[in-house]
A = this chain, B = another copy of it.
Amino acid sequence: MKYSGPTIFELGESEALKRAVAVFKRGEHTLVGSGDDAAVIASAGKYVVTTDTMVEGRDFRNDFSSGYDLGYKAVASNVADVAAMGAKPTALVVAVVVTTSTTVAWLEHFAAGLQAGIDNLAPGAEIVGGDIARGTEIVIAVTAHGELSAEPVLRSGAQPGDVVALAGTLGRAACGLDLLLSPDETLAKAYDEWVEVQLRPNPPIALGQLAAGIATAMMDVSDGLSTDATRLAKASGVSIKLSSGSLSGYEAVLELAAQSMVARGFVASERDWVLHGGEDHSLLATFPAGAVLPRGFKVIGEVIAQAAHPLYLDSEPLVAKGWDSVSS
């Protein structure tokens, strides 16, 4: 998307910030909103906090993502981490580095995307503060907060005998990225549903709160199932055995897109997307065998005692092939 009009640099930080802040709606947990040295948030005893950063040219491309998309995705990826603790998102702060050519229109669209992300994924939460700085590439650093109504669900609580379950989708954001990266632009248009998951993911945030008090461990799948299931297994001192049969449904919906890419001469595999693709920000959790899973969680495997490998697909070791945000 092309933006025109004055740059943030031309308008001045404080005026540009005012226009962005005007987009934000008041949250339910905010005692003092943006505009002072700090915001003040209500909390009933303990809160969760997490931070995540997106860098232009590496974590996103301005020719793929509009300002709106980036705002939405920044909220989604951060509130997914809040949800993965079993918490309800309450308040976010957003630090953004802009360039001398970044327009006020981009910033306003970015703010609208942030608010849309809040409206859809974290109703009642608020962007309570922010900071704009100038650099040579756009950087978006969001810190999200949430309120716990039960004990936090850690990565480290999985026990042999637990079932492994997933809420949300797998592989769609990775499929969408491959479609966008393909030189054949008709592909992204033909499968725009998966492109949209890449640009504006919709993790099942409320399910995190429903799993709290039942799940023994939980985390969000941001870097791919193989990478994140390995992390959960290692943190819990167990191994995880995924069942390929239970993953076939996730693969089936992406099969046509993969076939279309292969038919045009590109490398694509729905299985790779599902096993190794990140950014759907689904919730991966373990539950005691026999527990009633919150509706929306689907069993995809089981926890076994620590074995030679942290992760298996059926009886074969499954090696993590996900994303390292610096070295990948």
On A, residues with C-beta under 8 Å from B are 8-9, 12-14, 16, 31-32, 35-59, 81-82, 84-85, 87, 91, 93-95, 97-98, 128-137, 139, 141, 143-146, 148, 152, 154-156, 218-220, 235, 324-327
Cα of A152 to Cα of B32 in the assembled complex, Å: 9
Please name the residue on chain B nearest to A323 by beta carbon. B13
Please name the residue on chain B nearest to A78 by beta carbon. B38
Tell me which of B52, B132, B218 contacts A325 (CB under 8 A). B132
Cα of A36 to Cα of B49 in the assembled complex, Å: 10
The answer to whether B135 touches A55, judged by C-beta atoms less than 8 angstroms apart, is yes
The answer to whether B43 touches A43, judged by C-beta atoms less than 8 angstroms apart, is yes
Tell me which of B48, B137, B219, B327 contacts A9 (CB under 8 A). B327
The answer to whether B39 touches A48, judged by C-beta atoms less than 8 angstroms apart, is yes
The answer to whether A134 touches B13, judged by C-beta atoms less than 8 angstroms apart, is no
- Which are the 7 A-B pairs with shortest beta-carbon distances? A38-B50, A13-B326, A141-B141, A143-B143, A43-B43, A37-B84, A38-B48
The answer to whether A95 touches B37, judged by C-beta atoms less than 8 angstroms apart, is no
Contacts of A13 in B (CB 8 A): 324-327
The answer to whether A46 touches B49, judged by C-beta atoms less than 8 angstroms apart, is no
Cα of A218 to Cα of B38 in the assembled complex, Å: 11
Contacts of A130 in B (CB 8 A): 51
Contacts of A156 in B (CB 8 A): 36
Cα of A135 to Cα of B136 in the assembled complex, Å: 10
The smallest beta-carbon distance between A221 and chain B, in angstroms, is: 11
Contacts of A97 in B (CB 8 A): 53, 55, 139
The answer to whether B45 touches A135, judged by C-beta atoms less than 8 angstroms apart, is no
Cα of A25 to Cα of B295 in the assembled complex, Å: 40
Contacts of A137 in B (CB 8 A): 135-137
Contacts of A48 in B (CB 8 A): 32, 38-41
Please name the residue on chain B nearest to A58 by beta carbon. B134
Tell me which of B43, B45, B53, B128 contacts A133 (CB under 8 A). B53
Cα of A146 to Cα of B156 in the assembled complex, Å: 28
The answer to whether B155 touches A58, judged by C-beta atoms less than 8 angstroms apart, is no
A38-B85, A43-B43, A143-B93 known; A133 vs B49 contact (CB < 8 Å): no
> What would 5 A/B residue contacts be, using CB atoms closer than 8 Å?
A13-B324, A37-B81, A93-B143, A95-B95, A97-B139
The answer to whether A43 touches B47, judged by C-beta atoms less than 8 angstroms apart, is yes
The smallest beta-carbon distance between A67 and chain B, in angstroms, is: 16
Contacts of A132 in B (CB 8 A): 53, 325-326
Most buried by B among A9, A16, A37, A85: A37
The answer to whether A220 touches B37, judged by C-beta atoms less than 8 angstroms apart, is yes
Cα of A31 to Cα of B219 in the assembled complex, Å: 18
A47-B43, A141-B141 known; A84 vs B131 contact (CB < 8 Å): no
The answer to whether A129 touches B12, judged by C-beta atoms less than 8 angstroms apart, is no
The answer to whether B133 touches A51, judged by C-beta atoms less than 8 angstroms apart, is no
The answer to whether A37 touches B49, judged by C-beta atoms less than 8 angstroms apart, is no
The answer to whether B51 touches A129, judged by C-beta atoms less than 8 angstroms apart, is yes
Contacts of A148 in B (CB 8 A): 40
Cα of A39 to Cα of B145 in the assembled complex, Å: 9
Please name the residue on chain B nearest to A55 by beta carbon. B135
